[in-house]
A and B are shown apart, each in its own frame.
Chain A
């Protein structure tokens, strides 16, 4: 008789990890197809429709990029903290607060020309995002309070603060049904038309540049190296003479600033008004984006696009007659499988050789 045991593998090659993620995504897509068939729809036709409408139409790529940008910014924020072994569950709140900081400058700040104005708004959003995470960061470093809880709870505070701003002091008098701020007078310029990215704005370039800078910093600077060691083993890092607390603080503040900048890009590039719907859970999806990318900055860009594709599929499915609850469930299923597959890649099935029978000649 054959016996098997499950073994944890200490380190997995990138190829195995990617393979596992792809395989589990495929499995979940098949399961989703089965569900759609049970709903009386044609899964293959729907799948083609999703791919066609997500990639091959005049809006598809633009929509994909517009959705991927905030997801990638939140993913970069989460991955920065994962580098030092901390969880940023609060990217959503930092995203909102960053957008509010940018909106404040845009609505009530100086009336400069576009570029200096955008720079000032970017600076305001990064300051606001960093300030928003400063309390959890200091609580973590001084008191040892779990940053998972504090960053998460501050999301609700941020969201309610935005609600108050847009229903109160910053409410647009002209709109009628929902609460939102007036339209910002400045906007991030669009990419040139002949690049065939439709209405995508230069914020996309900022996202890509930031991902590259972070990737280079992680790979080639002493700072990046120290972050990694602090994340792997704080005692060892401390023993090696690194300023561990300082590095942790830097990573956390920077994470807040990146998420805040994400909020500014979404505000000034895509939505143009501060409103409660500015982030549709982007900060939370950013966690999945960062985990799937194994906190690699360039990987975050790829998984951000993949995640945008999946979320976009939910929209396409609804226009094809799939109920919204089923579309949300399908998206959730795919995300869950991807995350589980990524973890499972760390394990392997090992055959245990049968024990020699007593009395059997050796």
Chain B
């Protein structure tokens, strides 16, 4: 059995040196997939490290062990890389007018660069438009301006790899997915997961249950239980917590999670996790802001191996299954796009023709379920 150490992933020993981070950072910048808009904005002026103020605003608590914990990890890495800069961090910012107030406080505190680790839309852009000398980066955002950009991760490709393993880990071929809202982040994740599974097992299906929250352990457990009662024996979830994994372990089925290594919550059920690593991206963006080369309009999707990857396979994953999925992973690392036509939607309509591939922006805005996915509707 081969257990491949993941390339990235937050862990207690992940304490990279500043030089290493900066070297990696330039690599990440080179890997940023999307071109800036034609009318590139002028860079914001340089800032001395000792006078720099970097702000982080999170959607959840930094102790969530999931999404926000990974961003907090990135902030700590940035803090180590720029020890003289001042860092502000606010957690659990509600998606309400309170968010606007918090972002304004960042500006008022002299922030030079603000990272907002979830999409706040207008609540953020109204502040950004009023503070032209402050840079804003919105995770999973959509808007760009002279001083605002967005960043995200290529999670659909990792979900594809996980789908390949899931097809082998499931006996019945009936897969389950527990998600939050009917939004592209969930469509792309569930779709790519099933496409990966169908590449191995063409009769596989995926039933999706949405719980209308990113963090609601009770609802997540109920959803996982409902899937299990429908005969599903492999669950994938992109929620922040490990409750699906716990339910899966109790029921004797398999589960893959998101954000962090969660195997401790159900070692015998754990297949893998989609790991997030923002360290290099954050350090690179701050370095650019300080040197005076940062400008708005950036659209970054961090690639597999450069911000998102699978975790080391769980103890119950056979070596052969791991090797099968890792072969796909190697192809992806080599630049192969696994989201290839022909792809039909759940109504049987051909959406991606044979021989065509879905590009990254199409995956980023995915809003229809692929054939075999139930529980999501075409938006």
Residues of A within 8 A of B (CB): 53, 57-60, 63, 66-67, 163, 167, 171, 173-180, 183, 199, 266, 270-273, 275-280, 312, 315-316, 318-319, 321, 323-324
Whether B171 is near chain A, meaning CB under 8 Å from some CB there, is no
Can you name the residue of chain A whose Cβ is closest to the Cβ of B88?
Answer: A319
> What is the interface size of chain B, counting residues whose CB is below 8 A from a CB of the partner?
44
Provide the bound-state CA to CA distance between A328 and B95, in Å.
17
Indicate which residue in A174, A279, A315 contacts B105 across the interface (CB closer than 8 Å): A315
* Apart from the given pairs A53-B108, A271-B123, A324-B90, 10 other A-B contacts in the complex at a CB distance below 8 Å: A58-B108, A177-B140, A178-B118, A199-B130, A270-B100, A312-B101, A319-B90, A321-B88, A323-B91, A324-B91
Set of chain B residues within 8 Å of A178, measured between Cβ atoms: 95, 118-119, 181, 183
A324 B119 Cβ-Cβ under 8 A = no
Nearest Cβ distance between residue A122 and chain B, in whole angstroms? Answer: 19
Set of chain B residues within 8 Å of A270, measured between Cβ atoms: 97, 100
Nearest Cβ distance between residue B37 and chain A, in whole angstroms? Answer: 17
B61 A177 Cβ-Cβ under 8 A = no
A275 B96 Cβ-Cβ under 8 A = yes
Indicate which residue in B101, B107, B142 contacts A67 across the interface (CB closer than 8 Å): B101
Indicate which residue in A176, A316, A318, A319 contacts B140 across the interface (CB closer than 8 Å): A176
Provide the bound-state CA to CA distance between A73 and B105, in Å.
25
Provide the bound-state CA to CA distance between A343 and B107, in Å.
40
Nearest Cβ distance between residue B181 and chain A, in whole angstroms? Answer: 5
Per-residue A-contact encoding for B193-225, CB less than 8 Å = 1, 0 else: 000000000000000001010000000000000
3 smallest CB-CB distances across A and B, nearest first, come from A277-B96, A177-B119, A277-B95
Indicate which residue in A163, A180, A277, A318 contacts B212 across the interface (CB closer than 8 Å): A163
Whether B301 is near chain A, meaning CB under 8 Å from some CB there, is no
Whether B64 is near chain A, meaning CB under 8 Å from some CB there, is no
Set of chain B residues within 8 Å of A323, measured between Cβ atoms: 91
Interface residues of B in 308-357 (CB under 8 A from A): none
A57 B118 Cβ-Cβ under 8 A = no
Set of chain B residues within 8 Å of A66, measured between Cβ atoms: 97, 101
A319 B105 Cβ-Cβ under 8 A = yes
A57 B108 Cβ-Cβ under 8 A = yes
Set of chain A residues within 8 Å of B106, measured between Cβ atoms: 319
Per-residue A-contact encoding for B358-378, CB less than 8 Å = 1, 0 else: 000000110100000000000
Provide the bound-state CA to CA distance between A58 and B109, in Å.
12
A277 B88 Cβ-Cβ under 8 A = no
B121 A180 Cβ-Cβ under 8 A = yes
Set of chain A residues within 8 Å of B79, measured between Cβ atoms: none
B212 A271 Cβ-Cβ under 8 A = no
Nearest Cβ distance between residue B81 and chain A, in whole angstroms? Answer: 19
Nearest Cβ distance between residue A97 and chain B, in whole angstroms? Answer: 17
A280 B61 Cβ-Cβ under 8 A = no
Known: A280-B96, A318-B90, A324-B61. A175 touches B105 (CB 8 A): no
Whether B230 is near chain A, meaning CB under 8 Å from some CB there, is no
Whether B172 is near chain A, meaning CB under 8 Å from some CB there, is no
Can you name the residue of chain A whose Cβ is closest to the Cβ of B107?
Answer: A59
A-B contact pairs, 17 of them (CB 8 A): A53-B105, A53-B108, A59-B104, A60-B108, A66-B101, A171-B182, A176-B365, A177-B118, A178-B95, A178-B118, A178-B183, A266-B97, A273-B121, A280-B97, A315-B90, A319-B102, A324-B90
Set of chain B residues within 8 Å of A173, measured between Cβ atoms: 367, 379
B109 A175 Cβ-Cβ under 8 A = no
Whether B185 is near chain A, meaning CB under 8 Å from some CB there, is yes
Interface of A is mostly: loop
Set of chain A residues within 8 Å of B142, measured between Cβ atoms: 174-176
- Name, among B101, B183, B184, B185, the residue most crowded by chain A CB atoms within 10 Å (CB to CB): B101
B94 A63 Cβ-Cβ under 8 A = no
Can you name the residue of chain A whose Cβ is closest to the Cβ of B379?
Answer: A173
Can you name the residue of chain A whose Cβ is closest to the Cβ of B123?
Answer: A271
Indicate which residue in A59, A174, A179, A271 contacts B108 across the interface (CB closer than 8 Å): A59
Provide the bound-state CA to CA distance between A163 and B183, in Å.
14
A315 B96 Cβ-Cβ under 8 A = no
Nearest Cβ distance between residue B214 and chain A, in whole angstroms? Answer: 8
Provide the bound-state CA to CA distance between A279 and B97, in Å.
9
Whether B2 is near chain A, meaning CB under 8 Å from some CB there, is no
B61 A67 Cβ-Cβ under 8 A = no
Set of chain A residues within 8 Å of B379, measured between Cβ atoms: 171, 173
A272 B367 Cβ-Cβ under 8 A = no
B181 A319 Cβ-Cβ under 8 A = no
Set of chain A residues within 8 Å of B51, measured between Cβ atoms: none
B183 A179 Cβ-Cβ under 8 A = yes
Nearest Cβ distance between residue A135 and chain B, in whole angstroms? Answer: 25
Set of chain A residues within 8 Å of B96, measured between Cβ atoms: 271, 275, 277-280
Nearest Cβ distance between residue A98 and chain B, in whole angstroms? Answer: 16
A175 B183 Cβ-Cβ under 8 A = yes
Can you name the residue of chain B whose Cβ is closest to the Cβ of A280?
Answer: B96
Set of chain B residues within 8 Å of A271, measured between Cβ atoms: 96-97, 122-123
A167 B181 Cβ-Cβ under 8 A = yes
Interface residues of B in 111-161 (CB under 8 A from A): 118-119, 121-123, 126, 130, 140-142
Provide the bound-state CA to CA distance between A319 and B130, in Å.
19
- Name, among B59, B104, B126, the residue most crowded by chain A CB atoms within 10 Å (CB to CB): B104
A324 B118 Cβ-Cβ under 8 A = no
Nearest Cβ distance between residue B204 and chain A, in whole angstroms? Answer: 27
Set of chain B residues within 8 Å of A67, measured between Cβ atoms: 97, 101
Nearest Cβ distance between residue B303 and chain A, in whole angstroms? Answer: 19
Nearest Cβ distance between residue A61 and chain B, in whole angstroms? Answer: 12
- Name, among A173, A180, A319, the residue most crowded by chain B CB atoms within 10 Å (CB to CB): A319
Set of chain A residues within 8 Å of B88, measured between Cβ atoms: 319, 321
Nearest Cβ distance between residue B94 and chain A, in whole angstroms? Answer: 5
A275 B95 Cβ-Cβ under 8 A = yes
Provide the bound-state CA to CA distance between A60 and B90, in Å.
18
